Amino acid sequence: MAPSTVVVTIEKPENPSQKHNILDSSAFLEKQKAVSTKQFTWVLLLKVNRVFACLSWLPMALRAMFLSLKKRIARSDLTDEEPKTRGRLYKFIKVFLGLSILALVMEVVAHYKNWNLNLYQPWEVQGLVQWCYMVWLTFRVDYIAPAAIMMSNFCVVLFLIQSFDRLVLCVGCFWIKYKKIKPTIAEDAFDIEDPSSFPMVLIQIPMCNEREVYEQAIASACQMDWPRDRLLIQVLDDSDDINLQNLIKDEVSLWHQKGVNIIYRHRLIRTGYKAGNLKSAMGCDYVKDYEFVAIFDADFTPNSDYLKLTVPHFKGNPELGLVQARWSFVNKDENLLTRLQNINLCFHFEVEQQVNGVFLNFFGFNGTAGVWRIKALEESGGWLERTTVEDMDIAVRAHLNGWKMIFLNDVRVLCELPESYETYKKQQHRWHSGPMQLFRLCLPAILTSKISIWKKSNLIFLFFLLRKLILPFYSFTLFCIILPLTMFLPEAELPLWVICYIPIFMSFLNILPSPKSFPFLVPYLLFENTMSVTKFNAMVSGLFQLGSSYEWVVTKKTGRSSESDLLAYAERESMSANEEKILRRNSESGLELLSKLKEQEVVAPKKKKKNGIYRKELALAFLLLTAAARSFLSAHGVHFYFLLFQGLSFLAVGLDLIGEQMG
C-alpha cells in the first residue's frame, strides 16, 4: 500500500514594509485627487477673477481713450486745406456718411425684426419704417445697384491695368538685377593728375528759411572732391528772415576764407518759388563758363565723391542731359510714418526710376541730387515758373528735345523724410497736383513733338494718365467710396480678389526693394488707401486748377545728421569752439548781430507746435466703420475686417496719431 501523499504549502511571509507602501500609495492617490480638484477649482476661480478684472478695466480704458481723444481734439488745430477745396469733397463725404448711417439704422431694424420683404405683398406691409425699407430695397435694386456695378467694374478695370503696369516694372527690375545692367564710366574719363581735364561744374543749393539744415548743406557741397578752380558753389537763399540771411552769409564767408569758390545770392522778391530761384541764378554771366550744374536741396548731404561718380558719365555721351542719383534717408526709422514713406520711395527709385532709365532713357527728374548738362537746360527752355513741379517740367521738355537720362541706383545722397503728417500731407498735395497742371500744359507740345509714337504714348498714357491720374482716382473711388457703398448693395458686392488678394500681392511687390519693411506690409496697404483722399483731392485740384494747386509750401526740415556728417563737420566745429566764433561783417560787429538775434527771440517767441485734426479723414473713418457695421450684420468676413481696419487707419490719421507727436 502506497504511503499517503502529504501536500505542503509554504506561504511567503508578508513584508510589512511593502504593505505599508501599498497603503501609502493608495492614500497618496486619494490625496492627489483631492489636491487636483482643489487646484482645478482655484484655477477656475483665478480665470474668473481675471475675466472680471478685464471687464472692470475695459470701461476705464475706454473712458481714458475717450478723454485722450477729446483732449487731442481740444488742443489740436484744424489743418485741412482752405474751405473752397475742402468744401466740395468734404460735403460730399458728409452727405454720404449721413445716408450710410440712416441706411444702417434701417438694416439693423430689419435684421432684428427678421424682415424678408421678398415674401411680402405691398398691402401686407405694416408700419412706416417697414414701408420705407421696402421702398429703399426697390429703389436700390432698380436704380442704385446698376450704376454702382458699372462704376465698380470701371474702377476694377483701371485697378487691373495699373497692377499690370506695376508688375511689368517689377519684372523689368528683376531683369536688370539678373543681367547686372547698370551705367558704366569710361576708364579714361578724366586725368586725375591733370586738374585741367576736369570739366567746369556749378553746384546750386536753393533754400528758403532752412535754419535747421543750411550749415550741413553748405559744408557737404564745399567738401566735394573736385578741383577747386573747376568748381563754383551758389547758395541761392530765398529766406525772408534777415537774421537767418546774415547767418547764411557768415557761413558762406567762412568757407570762402578757406579757399572755396562759393557765392551767396539772395532775391528780394521770391517769384516762381524754386523755379524762379534757379532761373535767376542761371542768368548770371559767369554761368556760361560752366558745362554742368549739380542741384541739391538744403536737406541733402552728398558724399565728397558724388561728382566723380556722376559727371564722368557725360564723357563720350553727347546726348546725355541728366544723371540722377538715388535718395537715402537718415531718419527712415524715426516713426511709423517715415517707415511707410521709405517703402514708397525705395520702390520709386529701385523700380520705377531705374527701369525707366535703363529701357526708356527717360524719367521724372527728382528736383535734387542730379547733374544737368547746362546745354540741355538751355535748349529745353530753362526753368519755367508755370507749375509747382518744375523738376518734372524740365525733364519732360528735355525728353521732347531728344535728351537722354541716366539713373544711378548705387549712388546715394542722404536726405530727410517728413516726420509729421501735416508736412507729409502738404508735400504729397504738391507732388500730385503739379503733374496734372503740367499735363494740361504739355499735352499740345507732346502731340506736336518730333519724338516717336511709342515715346508719345508712353508720356501720355503711362507717365501722366496711368501713374499720375488713374492711380489716385481708382484708389479713392474704389476703396473709399464704392466698397463701403456695396455693403448696402449686395447686388454690387466686390469680390475678394479685388479687396484682398491683389492689393496684398501688389503691396508685397512694393516692399521688395526694402525687405526690412516686411513687418509693415498690412500698415503700408492701409496707409496707402488712407492717403488716397489727399492724392485724389490734389489730382482734381491740379487738373481743373482748383484751390491751392499753385501753392508751394516748403517741406519742414529737422536738421538730422548721420555719423559721417558729424565726423565731416568736426574740423569746422573745433574751429568755432572758441569765444571769437562770431564772424564780423563789414556793416556791423558780431556783438551787434548777437544782440539782434536775442531781441528777435524775445519779440517773436517760437510758436508751440500742435498736432492737427483732419476732417476729411475723420469723416471717411466714420463712413468705413459704418460700412463695417453693416458688413458685420451680413457676416461678410474679409469685407468686415478690411473695412474695420481701414476705418481705424483713417481714424488714426484723422486724429494725427501717426508721425511726429507734438508735446
Residues facing residue 373 across a β-bridge: 292
Residue type (1 letter), 117 = L
pLDDT the model gives residue 148? 93
pLDDT the model gives residue 269? 81
Evaluate if residue 593 carries a pLDDT over 70: no
Picking from 522, 497, 529, the residue whose alpha carbon sits closest to that of residue 507 is 522
Average pLDDT over residues 30-54: 66
pLDDT the model gives residue 246? 95
Tell me which of 238, 297, 299, 656 is the catalytic residue: 238
Q: Characterize 553-571 residue by residue with b for buried, 16 or more Cβ atoms within 10 angstroms of its Cβ, and e for exposed.
A: ebbbbbebbeeebeebbee
Q: CA-to-CA distance for 232 and 630, rounded, in angstroms?
A: 65
Evaluate if residue 64 carries a pLDDT over 80: no
Residue 569's pLDDT band, with cuts at 50, 70 and 90, is very low
Percent of the chain exceeding pLDDT 90 equals 62
What are the angstrom distances between the C-alpha of 71 and each of 206, 420, 611, 612, 649?
A: 40, 19, 11, 12, 20
DSSP strands (E only) in 242-291: 262-266
pLDDT, tens digit, 9 for 90 and up, residues 400-446: 999 999 999 999 999 999 999 999 999 999 999 999 999 999 999 99
Domain map of the chain by residue range?
Answer: 88-177+473-554+611-655, 195-418
Give SS3 for 124.
helix
pLDDT the model gives residue 98? 93
Q: CA-to-CA distance for 570 and 333, rounded, in angstroms?
A: 25
pLDDT, tens digit, 9 for 90 and up, residues 66-105: 666 666 666 666 555 444 445 788 999 999 999 999 888 8
Average pLDDT over residues 337-362: 96
Could you tell me the sign of the dihedral formed by the alpha carbons of 289, 292, 298, 302, in that order? negative
Tell me which of 80, 237, 299, 391 is the catalytic residue: 391
pLDDT, tens digit, 9 for 90 and up, residues 215-264: 999 999 999 999 999 999 999 999 999 999 999 999 999 999 999 999 99
Task: Characterize the bridge pairing of strands 370-373 and 292-295.
Answer: antiparallel
pLDDT, tens digit, 9 for 90 and up, residues 609-637: 677 789 999 999 999 999 999 999 887 88
Cell of 225: 572732391
Is-catalytic flag, 391? yes
Is-catalytic flag, 165? no
User: Would you say 307 and 201 are in contact if contact means Cβ atoms under 8 Å apart?
Assistant: yes
pLDDT, tens digit, 9 for 90 and up, residues 301-327: 999 999 999 999 999 899 999 999 999
Evaluate if residue 12 carries a pLDDT over 80: no
Q: Does 607 or 334 have the greater pLDDT score? A: 334
Cell of 495: 469680390
pLDDT the model gives residue 659? 80
Average pLDDT over residues 526-535: 95
Percent of the chain exceeding pLDDT 70 equals 76
Evaluate if residue 20 carries a pLDDT over 70: no
DSSP strands (E only) in 363-517: 370-373, 404-415
Q: CA-to-CA distance for 433 and 551, rounded, in angstroms?
A: 10
Task: Output phi, psi for 545, to 5 deg.
Answer: 55, 50
Q: CA-to-CA distance for 327 and 415, rounded, in angstroms?
A: 7
Q: Does 78 or 553 have the greater pLDDT score? A: 553
Considering the entire predicted model, what is its pTM?
0.81
Position of cell 488714426?
652
The 3-state secondary structure of 612-642 reads: EECHHHHHHHHHHHHHHHHHHHCCCCHHHHH
C-alpha 179: how far from its chain's center? 30
Dihedral, 366, 368, 374, 380 alpha carbons, nearest 10: 30
Residue 479's pLDDT band, with cuts at 50, 70 and 90, is very high
HSE value, Cβ hemisphere, 13 Å, CA-based, for 70? 6
User: Would you say 476 and 159 are in contact if contact means Cβ atoms under 8 Å apart?
Assistant: no
Across the chain, what does the average pLDDT equal? Answer: 83
Q: Does 294 or 592 have the greater pLDDT score? A: 294
**Cβ partners under 8 Å of residue 553, min gap 6:** 426, 427, 430
pLDDT the model gives residue 1? 45
pLDDT the model gives residue 571? 46
DSSP, res 207: E
Lowest mean pLDDT among 350-354, 465-469, 565-569: 565-569
CATH fold label, 195-418? Spore Coat Polysaccharide Biosynthesis Protein SpsA; Chain A (3.90.550)
User: Would you say 183 and 405 are in contact if contact means Cβ atoms under 8 Å apart?
Assistant: no
Q: CA-to-CA distance for 191 and 202, rounded, in angstroms?
A: 20
DSSP strands (E only) in 115-213: 201-207
Question: Residue 30: in which H helix or E strand, if any?
Answer: helix 16-75
pLDDT the model gives residue 78? 58
Evaluate if residue 476 carries a pLDDT over 60: yes
Residue 390's pLDDT band, with cuts at 50, 70 and 90, is very high
Evaluate if residue 186 carries a pLDDT over 90: no
Q: CA-to-CA distance for 42 and 657, rounded, in angstroms?
A: 42
